[in-house]
Amino acid sequence: MTKKHDTNEPKEVIEKTDWQKLHEEFVARQAVKNSEEEEVLAEEPEQIMDDFEDSLTEERQSEDGEEDIQDVISEEDFPTDEEDDDETVEEPSDVKEEVVKLENPAPTPKDILKEEKALKKQLREKAKSEKKEQRLKNRPLRVARLKVASIIVVAVLTLVCSGFILSPYSKEKQFEVTGLEHADKASILVSTGIKQSDYISSVYFEKESIEKAIQAANPWVKKAEITYRFPNVFEISITENRIIAYAQTEAGHQPVLENGLRMPVVSKADLPENFLTVNLTDEKAVQSLVTQLAKLDEDLVSRIKVVNAVTNATTKDLLLLEVKEGHQIRVPLSQLDVKLPFYSKIAETLTAPSIIDMEVGIYTTNETIEAIMAQEKAEREEAKKKAEEEAKKKNKKTDGTADANEEVEGSETLSEETSSPELTETVVTDTTQETSTESTTH
């Protein structure tokens, strides 16, 4: 015989929450109220009241006389205070139920919802207060845990950092150079001044000084920016200076950068299809030209083909610019960035190759007008020269007559002077003769 296992094992009892208990009590109360309402509604309240009134009238009629009725009413229906204390008037059960119904009307659905909301609100407030109390109790413990955790984290980080610094990996660095078009990567890396023995941390904290060193050592570099990428990679981003023009020399074409510096001569194969040629010998003028062109719109600058210096001009820094549309622009170098932008609007009105003069004002002309003006100018200069020559000739003639007169006057004076000694000699001889005659007479 095998023993049968007891099937009536004790079940685990799950404790109900306060909210569940209150809800069950509320549901039970509502069920009792609903049942009472149904019982009261099942009876006829009007019939009950009529029966009660009939019984009262019958009792009143059974008594003889009004005095007896009053005595009966005073004794039975309206007892004294002592009787009230000793005995209680018993009312019919139906009347009691009706009075209870009138005093405590049945709750409406709105009242039920209000009670439920009030209960839920009480429970939430109670839960919040309990949580707050629990937090206040656990706060010192949490603060202590945070302090311990922060100390442990700091200690671990210091150990890791110190171990990494002492290891050879702290000096292994990788460099990536981007944005190069004309500059050399090797020259960029040399200009950084970074050694193999330098730590990664020292390179990271000296990024600004390294960027300045790169810009100072390489004329191609306009801007250098170093970014660090974990664990040991440094990316050097280079922004190069634009080539504004090419200076034409005996050896070839030299690129002129936007900072005004000239770079070594490039071969014809390296020249672009369209470029600006500068034919200026003065280095300062070239730098000033390039810096002003760098401020202008790139589209406007790309339309210029050649820049020449105008030697025979009243303005010392006057330039002659040849553009792709076939026009020529005369503009002073000192006013280039101010006046040259007007060319875009003037060119829209021109239908044939013209000369745009911006030396004093701004006006347009052409080669024929310039040739006529040059011819008139040459004629004026020739007439001026002839007039000067004739004036000189007249001055020479007047000077010659004056010299002849002076010579005549000089000869006359000389003749007079030569004749005066002869007279003196004759006078002297006469006197000597007179003296000699006087001596003989004596």
CATH code assigned at 303? 3.40.50.10960
- Residue 222's nearest CA partner among 266, 187, 277, 183 is 183
Q: Which amino acid is at 287?
A: Q
Same domain, 304 and 257: yes
Q: Any idea what the Cα angle at residue 380 is, between residues 376 and 383, rounded to 5°?
A: 135
Same domain, 222 and 254: no
Cα separation, 348 vs 33, whole angstroms: 99
Cα dihedral 57/59/65/69 (nearest 10)? -100
Same domain, 235 and 310: no
Q: Which of 370, 400, 426 is the last residue of a domain?
A: 370
Q: Which of 370, 396, 417 is the last residue of a domain?
A: 370
Same domain, 288 and 332: yes
Same domain, 192 and 292: no
Same domain, 226 and 252: no
**Residue 217 placed within a domain:** yes
**Residue 423 placed within a domain:** no
**Residue 208 placed within a domain:** yes
- Residue 216's nearest CA partner among 175, 196, 187, 236 is 187
Contact (Cβ atoms closer than 8 angstroms) between residue 300 and residue 343: yes
Provide the domain count of the chain.
2
**pLDDT value of residue 320:** 92
How many C-beta atoms surround the C-beta of residue 10 within 10 A?
A: 5
Same domain, 292 and 182: no
Same domain, 270 and 342: yes
Give the sign of the dihedral formed by CA 65, CA 68, CA 74, CA 76: negative
Same domain, 285 and 201: no
Which residue segment(s) compose the domain that 249 sits in? 243-370
Same domain, 186 and 255: no
Cα separation, 128 vs 314, whole angstroms: 94
**Residue 435 placed within a domain:** no
**Residue 274 placed within a domain:** yes
CATH assignment at residue 218: 3.10.20.310
Same domain, 220 and 282: no
Cα dihedral 100/103/108/111 (nearest 10)? -120
Cα separation, 293 vs 131, whole angstroms: 73
**pLDDT value of residue 304:** 92
**Residue 376 placed within a domain:** no
Q: What pTM was estimated for this model as a whole?
A: 0.49
> For the chain, which ranges sit under pLDDT 70?
1-16, 40-107, 109, 313, 370, 373-374, 397, 399-442
- 193-214 in b/e form (b: 16+ CB < 10 A) is ebeeeeebeebeebbeebbebb
Same domain, 289 and 219: no
Q: Which of 370, 402, 423 is the last residue of a domain?
A: 370
SS3 246: strand
**Residue 110 placed within a domain:** no
**Residue 11 placed within a domain:** no
